[in-house]
């Protein structure tokens, strides 16, 4: 999952509990394809990224919470993306992320397919990714063996893999999600699509 950003890939950092990551996940591949680029997906945990950056989630601030809760749904409508505010939000999603790490290690395309299934499951269908039973069911629905997936999310190997991914992201200056790197240039937020499109079309501006 890690690698130099000085290539044709756009690095896309996402969190399974981030509504804005979900929105971005629905357009990033099309944007990349228009510019003959690929996407390198990185599952991260915002909690792990917030700590070194001395940040807190927006919903942790009472003055911001009401606004961002409205903005999640409004942003999804603007993007034409189905959205249902999850009954439990936010939730810990490290198990879904570990499944992504495990799948990516054997088949990156299947890992991306899982990312789409999990993000859509949580934000369009209210599937609680923190519930092992619900997660197993969603994994099976996505065409992945649920017993193997559960073994993976419990395996220290994939726990360490996710930790390394978070550490590498933090070292590159990633402090939120979605976060993108194009040829080393950072872009933060689902609303940077137009800026990224111009950068890919014209280069630095």
Return the pLDDT at 18. 97
Return the pLDDT at 59. 67
- Tell me the pLDDT tens digit for each residue of 27-81: 999 999 999 999 999 999 998 886 765 556 666 677 888 899 999 999 999 999 9
Return the pLDDT at 51. 75
Domains defined for the chain, CATH in brackets: 9-202 (3.40.30.10)
Grouped pLDDT means (10 residues each) for the chain, 205 residues: 62 98 98 97 91 64 85 97 96 97 97 98 98 98 98 97 96 95 96 97 87
Q: Print burial letters for 52-83: b (CB count within 10 Å at least 16), e (below 16).
A: eeeeebeeeeeeeeeeeeeebeebbeebebeb
């Amino acid at each position: 999952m890690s690698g130099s950003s000085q290539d044709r890939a756009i690095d896309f950092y996402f969190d399974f509990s981030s509504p804005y990551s979900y929105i971005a996940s629905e357009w990033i591949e099309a944007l990349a394809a228009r510019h003959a680029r690929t996407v390198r997906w990185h599952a991260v945990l915002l909690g792990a990224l917030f700590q070194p950056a001395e940040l807190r989630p927006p919903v942790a601030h009472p003055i911001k919470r009401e606004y961002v809760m409205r903005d999640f749904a409004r942003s999804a409508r603007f993007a034409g993306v189905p959205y249902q505010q999850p009954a439990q939000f936010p939730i810990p999603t490290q198990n879904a992320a570990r499944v992504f790490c495990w799948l990516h290690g054997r088949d990156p395309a299947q890992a991306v397919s899982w990312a789409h299934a999990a993000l859509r499951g949580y934000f369009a269908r209210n599937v609680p990714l923190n519930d092992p039973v619900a997660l197993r069911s969603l994994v099976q629905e996505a065409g992945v063996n649920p017993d193997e997936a559960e073994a993976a999310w419990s395996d220290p190997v994939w726990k360490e893999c996710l930790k390394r991914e978070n550490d590498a992201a933090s070292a590159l200056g990633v402090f939120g999600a979605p976060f993108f790197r194009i040829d080393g240039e950072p872009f933060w937020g689902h609303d940077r699509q137009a800026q990224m499109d111009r950068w890919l079309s014209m280069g630095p501006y």
